[in-house]
């Protein structure tokens, strides 16, 4: 594997905070919440809060292509097109065999599967939608992005629950480090806001009653949300040769597994992933300025993440700016890491750390500076994005100023 430097040349996103990366970032820095009452048919659900996107308007997708697309694939294509436009990426002007995509998904095309179950079991239909399989398969977002943008290199999906987007970014980085591609679009997408998925999460008893309040003493759970985020990753040489805008550099990546419990997190697993990321980046703990926390708002995650951060950073933990943007956009599952990368890159570029909103009372077990409620000005040279998933699958990405 080569030591090729990998840079970010484009950002794209869509979630409850906005239909594009700039509007998402603006909402983050203003500390606005995108969470609110659910509008779909809830039937017997007790949960009535989520991060809905609402009407996406004109998605710019050909109607024939859209017929075979679930909502998570539509969002993926919209975010990927935005990122590609910012990067000035045009496959017709490059070697398409050197361009690829990796998209992380935690669930599947849940809207398509829910619809098929409704048609078969509730309405008694003998036939369901012809495109149920291509609309629902977890690899659909990656495939649809490649078809939309003409990417003919490495294209595949990855799934590791809530770490999926960060693992997708790492997989894309590896393709370029291995010399298999010059440009990769990477990110994640999920649309869990439908009856079946919310019902399943509700049964786990981890959903918040009113809002997401990470690290606050009165936190009571996570809030599910729809979303997609994509970034254009490129070798430094390729980006410079074509005059692409360089937004930030991927400093390093680290991953680990708890190998302990399917739902309960450990301290050692997340800490190992952070250490592996710093080692890959050849950075000291003291070089990190900002941590975009996994910060789901559950009692167990926030306490465990705090201890993992303190385990790695020691005394420097008290000097870190930490925040959970999930307090604003909710938990977009497989898309979370990619949407949170928008926060990391812009924190570096603007010198503004987005806040953790809904922070009502300090918790002695979460004693970090979580940037409560209001954004803060701070020069950020290096930021890390934490993603810790069910099954103990941990993925941490570090980005730095270029």
3-state secondary structure 33-92: CCCECCCCCCCCCCCCCEECCCCCCCCCCCHHHHCCCCHHHHHHHHHHHHHHHHHCCCHH
Q: Which of 74, 99, 376, 383 is nearest to 247 (CA)?
A: 383
Which residues are marked as active site? 162, 294, 331
Q: What is the pLDDT of residues 55-64, one digit of tens each?
A: 888 888 999 9
248 CB-near residues (< 8 Å, 6+ apart): 7, 8, 344, 345, 348, 349, 399, 400, 401, 402
Q: Tell whether 292 is covered by a domain.
A: yes
Q: Which residues of the chain have pLDDT under 70?
A: 1-2
Q: Which residues constitute the domain of residue 173?
A: 6-241
For residue 186, being part of any structural domain is answered with: yes
Q: Are residues 269 and 144 in the same domain?
A: no
Residues 18 and 67 in one domain: yes
Residue 62 lies in a domain: yes
pLDDT of residue 1: 46
Please indicate, yes or no, if residue 136 is contained in any of the structural domains: yes
User: Is residue 247 a part of any domain in this protein?
Assistant: no
Q: Which of 181, 210, 241 is the last residue of a domain?
A: 241
CB atoms within 10 A of CB 210: 12
Examine residue 189 and state whether it is found in any structural domain, yes or no.
yes
Do 316 and 262 share a domain, yes or no?
A: yes
* Domain match, 321 and 389 both: yes
Predicted local distance difference test score (pLDDT) of residue 61: 94
Question: Are the C-beta atoms of residues 140 and 66 closer than 8 Å to each other?
Answer: no
- Which among 241, 267, 285 is the end of a domain? 241
Judgement on whether residues 71 and 120 belong to the same structural domain of the protein: yes
Whether 227 and 262 map to the same domain: the answer is no
Q: Which residues, 6 or more positions from 158, have their beta carbon under 8 angstroms from its beta carbon?
A: 102, 103, 104, 105, 164, 167, 168, 171
Do 348 and 292 reside in the same domain of the chain?
yes
Q: Report the number of distinct structural domains present in the chain.
A: 2
What pLDDT is recorded for position 58?
Answer: 84
Residues 127 and 160 in one domain: yes
Decide: 331 and 190 in contact? Cβ < 8 Å.
Answer: no
Tell me the sheet residues that pair with 388: 394
**CATH code of the domain containing 62:** 3.40.47.10
**Are the CB atoms for 74 and 143 separated by under 8 Å?**
no
Instruction: Check whether residue 58 and residue 124 sit in a common domain.
Output: yes
Looking at the fold, whether 223 and 287 belong to one and the same domain comes out as no
Asked whether residue 229 falls in the same domain as residue 259, the answer is no
Would residue 147 count as lying in a domain? Answer: yes
- Claim to verify: residue 257 and residue 350 sit in the same structural domain: yes
Final residue of a domain: which of 241, 261, 282? 241
For residue 246, give the nearest of 401, 397, 59 by alpha carbon: 401
In a domain, 246, yes or no: no
């Amino acid at each position: 594997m080569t030591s090729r430097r990998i840079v970010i040349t484009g950002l794209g996103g869509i979630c409850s905070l906005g239909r594009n990366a700039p509007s998402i970032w603006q909402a983050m820095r203003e500390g606005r919440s995108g969470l609110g009452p659910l509008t779909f048919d809830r039937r017997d659900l007790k949960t009535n809060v989520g991060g809905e996107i609402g009407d996406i308007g004109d998605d710019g997708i050909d109607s024939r292509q859209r017929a075979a697309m679930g909502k998570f694939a539509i969002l993926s294509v919209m975010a990927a097109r935005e990122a590609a436009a910012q990067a000035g990426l045009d496959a017709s002007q490059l070697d398409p065999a050197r361009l690829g995509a990796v998209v992380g998904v935690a669930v599947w095309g849940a809207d398509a599967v829910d619809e098929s179950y409704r048609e078969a079991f509730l309405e008694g239909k003998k036939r369901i939608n012809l495109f149920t399989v291509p609309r629902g398969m977890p690899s659909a977002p990656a495939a649809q992005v490649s078809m939309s943008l003409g990417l003919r290199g490495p294209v595949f999906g990855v799934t590791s629950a809530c770490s999926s987007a960060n693992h997708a970014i790492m997989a894309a980085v590896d393709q370029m480090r291995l010399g298999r591609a010059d440009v990769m679009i990477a990110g994640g997408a999920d649309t869990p806001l439908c009856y079946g998925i919310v019902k399943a999460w509700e049964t786990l008893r981890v959903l918040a009653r009113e809002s997401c309040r990470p690290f606050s003493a009165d936190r009571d759970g996570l809030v599910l949300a729809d979303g997609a985020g994509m970034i254009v990753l490129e070798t430094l040489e390729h980006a410079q040769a074509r005059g692409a805008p360089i937004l930030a550099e991927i400093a390093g990546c680290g991953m680990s597994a708890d190998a302990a419990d399917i739902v309960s997190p450990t301290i050692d697993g997340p800490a190992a992933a952070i250490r592996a990321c710093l080692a890959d980046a050849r950075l000291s703990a003291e070089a990190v300025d900002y941590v975009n926390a996994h910060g789901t708002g559950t009692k167990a995650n926030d306490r465990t993440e705090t201890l993992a951060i303190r385990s790695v950073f020691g005394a420097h933990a008290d000097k870190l700016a930490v925040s959970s943007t999930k307090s604003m956009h909710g938990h977009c599952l497989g898309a979370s890491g990619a949407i949170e990368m928008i926060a990391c890159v812009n924190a570096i570029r603007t010198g503004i750390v987005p806040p953790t909103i809904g922070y009502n009372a300090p918790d002695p077990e979460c004693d970090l500076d979580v940037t409560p409620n209001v954004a803060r000005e701070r020069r950020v040279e290096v930021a890390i994005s934490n993603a810790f998933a069910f099954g103990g699958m941990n993925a941490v990405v570090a980005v730095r100023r270029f």
